[in-house]
Structure 1
Amino acid sequence: MHRQLPRTTLIELLTAADAQAPAPERHLWLIRLLGWLQQPGPPSAYAPGDLPAPCERLPWPTRRLIHLLNVLDERPEDRQRITTLLRSIFGRLDATGLLADYGFPPRQGFLSELAERLRLMCLPGTPQTQDLGELFHLLFRHPYDFSWLHTLDTATTRRLLQLYAGSVEVTEPPPWQPALIESIQLLASQLRAAGLSAALRQRMSARLLVDRPFHRIVQTAETLRDGPHPLQAALALHEVLDTCCAAADSVRHHLDEHGISVDLVFQVEQIHARAQRIRALLACLAAPEPAEGLTPLLLHLVQAGMERHGITPLFSRHYSLLARKVTERSAETGAHYITRTLDEYRTMLRQAAGGGAIIGLTTLMKFAISALSLSVFWAGFWAGMNYAASFVLVQLLHFTVATKQPAMTAPTLAAKLEGISANDAAVEDFVDEVTHLLRSQIAGIIGNLAMVVPVVLLIQGWSNATVGAPVVGADSAAYVLHTLHLQGPTVLFAAFTGVLLFVSSLVAGWVENWFVFHRLDSAIAWNPRFLHTLGTQRAQYWAQWWRQHISGIAANVSLGLMLGIVPALGTFFGLPLEVRHVTLAAGQLAAALGALGADVLHDPAFWWCVAAIPCIGLLNVGVSFYLAFRVALASRGLRVQDRGRLYTAMRRRWRQRPATFFFPPRT
């Protein structure tokens, strides 16, 4: 909570104050003073009198500051020496480094800001500097600083300013007013440069750029110094800032057309941050007296420094919009996986049955790859290629794999939560969506399992009848009964597979966003080389085809490769990871039954594997849905505050119409 600095006394600080010392030593004295303020306990054994009773409720740094001012009032010589020292410190430092630059990245890029924050975290700072921002970073770098500075009242701040001025009254205007105006002008120039960058300018609303706000902001800022009416100039600057921020926010409304990137989100956030800094500086300029404007500005600067200290806030803030677009693009795909009518439910069963038939062939191909006795990596790679090709084929044939649904449908369900605080109808809509989703999941799993088992058994029986041996032999079948046993690590591997299913949905959303951001559909449709090769009509067709299918292909390819390669990489690092996919597991168990014959039905291990199938399906679906649902909520900035209403509504639906969770209505 407090700085770990050598403890010192007030007498030692007053004695060490030397305005003629080198600049680093003067800055170190100021750092030691802040360290003395941060020390817990009574201010000092030396005190002209007890502090007033109200001070007992203040934090120790504030009480020590009041004690310091009281002591200096009793010791004029020390007061004069401290005043001279403070003037020598702040009079030779560049104030714009604090007012215009502190808390902002030196370059407009996410990765450069990440590297800068790592440098601030890992490398020590030096008091040998001419930049007031760098010295400020050494003085106030703990969250506790904001708490105790917030308790400073106007009277205490006025006494501090009087200490710096060396007089009873602070001059009007204050000596730092030119630095405030210069910092506002610097910030306005930075806003103009950011707003007129190509990445933002092409994505902002043309209607909001008609009045050229990013050009006018510099012109308006110049009138603060030279204009005859500074108050009117400040009001005009506030209006221009509002227009600039609205134009920057309009980038978010064109994401479906242009896509989004981390750097783009970062630049929008920086425009808002610099606009907020200008407002804070304007408030300090417009304050009735300097003491009233200084404390809010100081708190704003401390808060800006706190926000730039950590890595986690950077990721959570600047990835939120990207996460929202990824989940929204997943939600667009997920809406097709939710059945709401009887016809859609039957269609889902047929699509899932087709997917199960293809997965049956995939299962036998996996055994064939294993029989090649490849190295661990190449076995995992070709197994992943087998899965990826099968999943893509399922997509192209308009079939479905049940375990892919939850990660895609969770964002769709999260979108229903946005209105639950408004009325009860929104809650009922959410419960309806839950019932639709559960029915869809059940239909998908039933359709997959209903076809994967007979397809594998038929192929095993055909091979045994024609060749004299099944495709999957007895040794492989015994290995299946050992690995799928419910009493083994099957449950953990099934949950791990759910994580991979969730990650594939993020990859799908990210790839589609990347596709849109770089306008690849337009490139396919209008690139001269493509037009010459494909012709106009076919180029248009393939542009539309890739725009519609890029998300699904990315999800299928990434999921298939992860199912095969991630366990191989885990083996390389000594992690015994395996995947347990419910449809693939059911196909493997059917292959074992076809290899060992009816006698295996008397083996308890077989029935333990049968019992593992619903557990695998539940964990595949549950884990992927939970993770996708949480990310969708976080990306929208939502917290489920009305959980009680949701649970009550779902329990009421279960009591009144339990069949709706399993079967669609006939109308």
Structure 2
Amino acid sequence: MLSTLQRIAADPHSDNIDHLVALINALRPKQPKLAEQAAEQVRILLQLLHGSPTQASALRHYLLRLFSTRRQTSLYTDIGILPNAGFFTELFQRMSFRILPPALDENYLRDCLDRVLPADTDYVWINAVPSADWLKLIEVLVNAAPYTDAENNVASDADDRHKTMVELLDAIQVLSYRVSAMGLEPSLIRLYPTIEDFDSPFLMQNVELHRYLHGYRRYLAGDVSDANESTAPEDAKHLLVMLDQCDAVVLKIRKNALRMGTSVALTYLLVRLDQSIQRLRKLLMLVDIGDLGSQEQLAALAEQEAAPNPAQVAKLSEALALGQELIEAHNRKYAVRELFADNINLLARNVTENASRTGEHYIAESRTEYSAMFRSASGAGVVIGFMSLLKILASYLRAAPLVEAFLFSMNYSFGFMLIHVLHFTVATKQPAMTASRIAAGLQSRDGRYIDIDSLVELIVKVIRTQFIAVAGNLLLAFPVAYLIALGYFHLHGAHLVSPEKAQHLLHDIDPLASLALFHAAIAGVCLFLAGLISGYYDNKALYTHMAQRVERARWLRKLLGQKRLSRLGQYLEHNLGGLMGNFYFGILLGTIGTIGYMLGLPIDIRHITFSATNFATALVGLDNQMSWQTAVRSIVGVIGIGTVNLWVSFSLALFVALRARRVHFHHGWSLAKAVLGRFRKRPGDFFIAPKQVAPLAEEKDSVI
């Protein structure tokens, strides 16, 4: 470290970045998490500079020269801010740059960081060093005397500082233009049309910034030319107020997006806009001198060795924080996880919000709704019985694997879509929807208190609705499949499945002798994905105004007529998510087994209702000759498959819903005790709905 300082002192006018690289290498600990070692190295550097004011002056001059000879604007406007490329373009670019990094141009300060801080973990040890140590080091450099060479010629540090200040002002201007342009995007105005009724804060901040920069540049010109009268520019308080108004509009747009839908492009734009506003705010606070006093006052304080100006200390802290932010963003500029974290939260919130509204239809409140749910689930059981028949017949075609996967997928997809069109219910589709509804209940309105009694009541309703839906599916699917297999035997004189095929069907649902439960977990993941797909398309239907788009299709108007077309548009806007979720769910169920076969992997799907129909078909194929042990294992297998289906899909959906809402629920044990207490007192509530819905008395509510 001392030798590096000596080399810098020998040639402080150099703009060679190698000296800074050597200095950072001396500070860098062996492991990024060794914070104490890094802090000790910083303190050693601090002691060396205290002991040698000449080296402190030389290091200061070297750093100023290093900055002034590089282009800095892109460092402040690009690092840590999403580019204008779009989400998927940026995603693919980050992935490609991780494999083959881009070329560097050391004329730009942002590219110099790749040499100075090449490790992806450099920000870890830099942030781990106490801020007080970094501030002391910055203070030593700021207060160091101007560098003088051997002939006592004073180096022109003022020119270097002026160039850096100009670069900062240019960065502020670039960011302001970008904020104005993004604020005029039609997708933002569409979600917040009232912004057209008054002066847009995104435009007004740019107008105010021009006035601010004009005064600031006049001040800098007077400062450099040593004019007798140099008036300090106005502070940036009014400009910061305009940025606050921009933040308020962004917040309103985010709230409207929950109601009107969003898209990946809009979400990306909102994140980029927010990042640009926050960076603009930080740069303004960094260059603002309104609270520092005049240059003459600062010089007098320095000569008298008075206590540092609090505003100046605050500015140094802001500079340190911005520097750490830029370094971390630079080290993580190719990270994919951060890109997803910044962009997916709002989109996931909208998807789960739509799933939550759909989930309300899967919760039976009264005995009437309970009976209606049973009838709806029974209807689905009938359809699934015939879907099982079609799948077995398709398997007898002995088609190529991909053709067979296509036939299976279309059987599942159109069957599930028919169930949706007929307003029937598949029990396993409920958890992915109701989990979002429960997540909404876990999020208290005031952020502090959660109504446990209401939440317990909601969970009880979900459990008994799930129970009656499963019962409706199984009580009809099993006998329908049994009667179909029996009718096939009487019509054709041969069983629908041979004894060997029947044994294979029974083996597939055996929880001990096969991977039935593992395959049921895969089906649970498919159910969860189908729930996300449903929410995504519900969101898309709202965002794109599907009904209006359908009504404008001239070819459809000629085919159906205006009234039928309007009804079709309204139906698609309200049911597009359900239709597409069922369609893709069928494709997942129909292709996973074939993919496992082609890749040689033991992956397949097991669904509770299809397992029940396979059990019924196998029973007929064996002429009802089955040992009680086999029958028990099959029944346990069907129940186990259903339990895994429901639990996996519910757990994943609840996890995503909580993450999307950013809910950290800390009362799980209290909620579990309340649910168990309710089960001990009134276990029937978990299986049978009350005749009338009794309102929950306010005086009996308990909150946590």
Matched, 1:599 2:625: yes
How far apart are 1:658 and its partner, in Å? 1.6
- Give the distance between the partners of 2:597 and 2:663, measured in 1 at CA: 39
How far apart are 1:210 and its partner, in Å? 1.4
Give the counterpart of 1:295 among 312, 317, 336: 317
- Give the distance between the partners of 1:267 and 1:158, measured in 2 at CA: 39
How far apart are 1:250 and its partner, in Å? 2.5
- Give the distance between the partners of 2:145 and 2:181, measured in 1 at CA: 36
- TM-score when scaled to structure 2? 0.84
Partner of 1:255: 257
The change in CA–CA distance for 1:568 and 1:394 in structure 2 (over 3 A counts) is same
**What does 1:358-369 align with in structure 2 at a 5 Å threshold?**
358-369=383-394
- Give the distance between the partners of 1:364 and 1:116, measured in 2 at CA: 48
Matched, 1:157 2:164: no
Matched, 1:37 2:18: no
**Contact 1:108-1:267 within 8 A present in 2 as well:** no
The sequence identity of aligned pairs, in percent, is 27
How far apart are 1:128 and its partner, in Å? 5.0
How far apart are 1:465 and its partner, in Å? 3.0
Give structure 2 stretches of 5+ with no counterpart: 149-153, 217-230, 293-308, 693-704
How far apart are 1:17 and its partner, in Å? 5.7
Partner of 2:366: 341
Partner of 1:495: 521
The change in CA–CA distance for 1:641 and 1:208 in structure 2 (over 3 A counts) is farther
The change in CA–CA distance for 1:425 and 1:218 in structure 2 (over 3 A counts) is closer
Give the counterpart of 1:521 among 547, 552, 556: 547
**What does 1:6-405 align with in structure 2 at a 5 Å threshold?**
9-15=1-7, 19=11, 23=15, 26-39=16-29, 59-75=36-52, 78-79=55-56, 81-118=58-95, 121-123=98-100, 128-140=105-117, 141-148=122-129, 150-152=131-133, 154-163=135-144, 165-166=146-147, 175=162, 176-207=164-195, 210-227=198-215, 234-255=236-257, 258-286=260-288, 288=292, 290=312, 292-307=314-329, 308-309=332-333, 310-405=335-430
Give structure 1 stretches of 5+ with no counterpart: 1-8, 42-56
How far apart are 1:541 and its partner, in Å? 1.2
The change in CA–CA distance for 1:398 and 1:82 in structure 2 (over 3 A counts) is closer
Matched, 1:538 2:564: yes
Mean CA deviation greater in 573-582 or 513-522:
513-522
**Contact 1:355-1:400 within 8 A present in 2 as well:** yes
- Give the distance between the partners of 1:422 and 1:312, measured in 2 at CA: 27
**Contact 1:525-1:540 within 8 A present in 2 as well:** yes
Q: Which AA in structure 2 matches 1:263? A: A
Alignment partner of 1:152: what SS? helix
**What does 1:628-643 align with in structure 2 at a 5 Å threshold?**
628-643=653-668
**Contact 1:19-1:84 within 8 A present in 2 as well:** no
Q: How many residues align?
A: 641
Alignment partner of 2:320: what SS? helix
Q: Which AA in structure 1 matches 2:613? A: G
Matched, 1:455 2:480: yes
Partner of 2:600: 574
- Give the distance between the partners of 1:291 and 1:157, measured in 2 at CA: 10
**What does 1:422-501 align with in structure 2 at a 5 Å threshold?**
426-487=451-512, 488-501=514-527
Deviations 1:528-557 (A, max 9, x none): 444344332222111101112211111111
Alignment partner of 1:419: what SS? coil
Mean CA deviation greater in 113-122 or 468-477:
113-122
Deviations 1:590-636 (A, max 9, x none): 01111212321x25333311221110110111110110111100000
Q: Which AA in structure 2 matches 1:411? A: S
How far apart are 1:359 and its partner, in Å? 0.7
- TM-score when scaled to structure 1? 0.89
The change in CA–CA distance for 1:72 and 1:555 in structure 2 (over 3 A counts) is closer
Alignment partner of 1:142: what SS? helix
Give the counterpart of 2:581 among 551, 555, 580: 555
Alignment partner of 1:266: what SS? helix
Q: Which AA in structure 2 matches 1:391? A: F
- Give the distance between the partners of 1:336 and 1:230, measured in 2 at CA: 64
- Give the distance between the partners of 1:122 and 1:302, measured in 2 at CA: 26
- Give the distance between the partners of 2:449 and 2:36, measured in 1 at CA: 46
**Contact 2:416-2:583 within 8 A present in 1 as well:** yes
Partner of 1:624: 649
Q: Which AA in structure 2 matches 1:604? A: Q
How far apart are 1:236 and its partner, in Å? 1.3
The change in CA–CA distance for 1:22 and 1:117 in structure 2 (over 3 A counts) is farther
- Give the distance between the partners of 2:50 and 2:85, measured in 1 at CA: 48
How large is the RMSD of aligned CA atoms in angstroms?
Answer: 3.0
**Contact 1:338-1:409 within 8 A present in 2 as well:** yes
Deviations 1:358-397 (A, max 9, x none): 1111111111111111122222221111111211111111
Q: Which AA in structure 2 matches 1:317? A: D
Q: Which AA in structure 2 matches 1:157? A: I
Deviations 1:211-270 (A, max 9, x none): 221211111111223249977551111111111122223222333665212221121112
How far apart are 1:426 and its partner, in Å? 1.5
Matched, 1:658 2:639: no
**What does 1:578-589 align with in structure 2 at a 5 Å threshold?**
578-589=604-615
How far apart are 1:472 and its partner, in Å? 2.9
How far apart are 1:413 and its partner, in Å? 1.2
**Contact 1:420-1:427 within 8 A present in 2 as well:** no
Alignment partner of 1:277: what SS? helix
The change in CA–CA distance for 1:69 and 1:145 in structure 2 (over 3 A counts) is closer
Q: Which AA in structure 2 matches 1:189? A: Y
- Give the distance between the partners of 1:125 and 1:262, measured in 2 at CA: 26
**Contact 2:27-2:41 within 8 A present in 1 as well:** yes
- Give the distance between the partners of 1:163 and 1:111, measured in 2 at CA: 48
Partner of 2:699: none
- Give the distance between the partners of 1:484 and 1:227, measured in 2 at CA: 79
**Contact 1:205-1:251 within 8 A present in 2 as well:** no
**Contact 2:43-2:133 within 8 A present in 1 as well:** no
**Contact 1:499-1:623 within 8 A present in 2 as well:** yes
Deviations 1:452-481 (A, max 9, x none): 111122222223334322333323212212
Alignment partner of 2:107: what SS? coil
How far apart are 1:274 and its partner, in Å? 1.5
Partner of 2:698: none
Alignment partner of 1:156: what SS? helix
Deviations 1:109-145 (A, max 9, x none): 1123324434554455777512222224544542221
Q: Which AA in structure 2 matches 1:145? A: I
How far apart are 1:335 and its partner, in Å? 1.0
**Contact 2:444-2:450 within 8 A present in 1 as well:** no
Q: Which AA in structure 1 matches 2:174? A: L
Mean CA deviation greater in 560-569 or 173-182:
173-182
Q: Which AA in structure 2 matches 1:264? A: L
- Give the distance between the partners of 2:457 and 2:445, measured in 1 at CA: 13
- Give the distance between the partners of 2:259 and 2:658, measured in 1 at CA: 23
Mean CA deviation greater in 305-314 or 190-199:
305-314
